[in-house]
Structure 1
Amino acid sequence: MRPQLWQLVRFGLVGAVNTGTFYLLYLLLHPHLPYFAAFTGAFFLSMVGSFFMNTYFTYRTRPTWRKFLLFPLPNVTNYLVQSGGVFALVEWARMDDRIAPLPAAAVAIPITYVLSKIVLTGRGEHPARPAPDRAAGSAQSDDLGAAPVRVEVVEQ
């Protein structure tokens, strides 16, 4: 199987574990909080676990404070999609508020994959490919994998 396909499979496995963790937290918080507060609390608590599972297992990269601080960015989009979905399913479609987070999460998965890959591995870099040559005169890439800037000295 191609490395990128394995990465997608690992992302799915992490997503399944994280969804289970989120849902368990949601069910534990639900009796004590309004459904939306329970949803929000469970979402943010499970995001910490998601960061570590995705860095170590999915993308096989080193966790850094920078990545940890940026990791919420893809999850903000995920949160907006999921919370909008939960609200619409509960309030408009009259779905049971204990079940509504599951279909809402399914809609957000592809968006989260693309954005988390950008944050954790860098734009366009594939983890199976070797890093570009870091010849003298070129800058190192940052934690986000931004393309190095080549500096050439021209003698006159």
Structure 2
Amino acid sequence: MTGKLGRVARFALVGVVNTGVYYALYLLLRLLLPYLAAHVTAFVLAMVGSYFLNCHFTFRTTPSLRTFLLFPLSNVTNFVVTTTGLYALVTWLRVDQGVAPLLAAVVAIPFTFIVAQLVLLGRRKPTAPLIKEEERTS
């Protein structure tokens, strides 16, 4: 799995693992905390694991303090969408608290990939052409 497609596939696999970790933590923490507090705590803990998995497995880059501190930006959209979705599903649509976070998470995934890639890899400059434009016309 190389190239852009491989990176997307690895990101999806990390996302599945991360969702499993989040969901297990959420269910355990819900025994001790209200559902929204359990959601926030599980989300933060799973995000730390996601950072390291994405560095090593998805984007194959070395973790650094800078990217670790910036990585949560890749989850802001995810967090807002899942938290709002969780609240709406549980409060207004009466969806079970155990199922609602999984439903809410689906919408934010593409946005998270784009921002994670920017944070962990930075902006890539386009490669220079092999032949300068003026050499082609002469």
Deviations 1:102-127 (A, max 9, x none): 011111101100110100011246xx
Unmatched 5+ residue regions in structure 2?
A: 129-138
Residue aligning to 2:34: 34
CA distance in 1, matches of 2:85, 2:100: 8
Residue aligning to 1:78: 78
Q: CA deviation at 1:2?
A: 5.8
Residue aligning to 2:135: none
Change in 2 beyond 3 A, CA 1:45/1:2: closer
Unmatched 5+ residue regions in structure 1?
A: 126-130, 134-156
Residue aligning to 1:117: 117
CA distance in 2, matches of 1:2, 1:20: 25
Does 1:93 find its partner at 2:93?
yes
Number of residues paired by the alignment?
Answer: 128
Q: CA deviation at 1:77?
A: 1.7
Q: Which one has a larger percent helix, Structure 1 or Structure 2? A: 2
Relative contact order, higher structure (CA 8 A, sep 6+): 2
Does 1:56 find its partner at 2:64?
no
CA distance in 2, matches of 1:37, 1:132: 47
Residue aligning to 2:69: 69
Question: What is the TM-score of this pair, normalised by structure 1?
Answer: 0.78
Question: What is the TM-score of this pair, normalised by structure 2?
Answer: 0.88
Does 1:43 find its partner at 2:43?
yes
CA distance in 2, matches of 1:8, 1:75: 16
Structure 1 runs (4+) greater than 3 angstroms displaced: none
Residue aligning to 2:15: 15
Q: In percent, how many aligned pairs have the same letter?
A: 54
Deviations 1:108-156 (A, max 9, x none): 101100110100011246xxxxx969xxxxxxxxxxxxxxxxxxxxxxx
Residue aligning to 1:6: 6
CA distance in 1, matches of 2:21, 2:62: 23
Q: CA deviation at 1:92?
A: 1.0
Q: CA deviation at 1:31?
A: 1.1
Residue aligning to 2:133: none
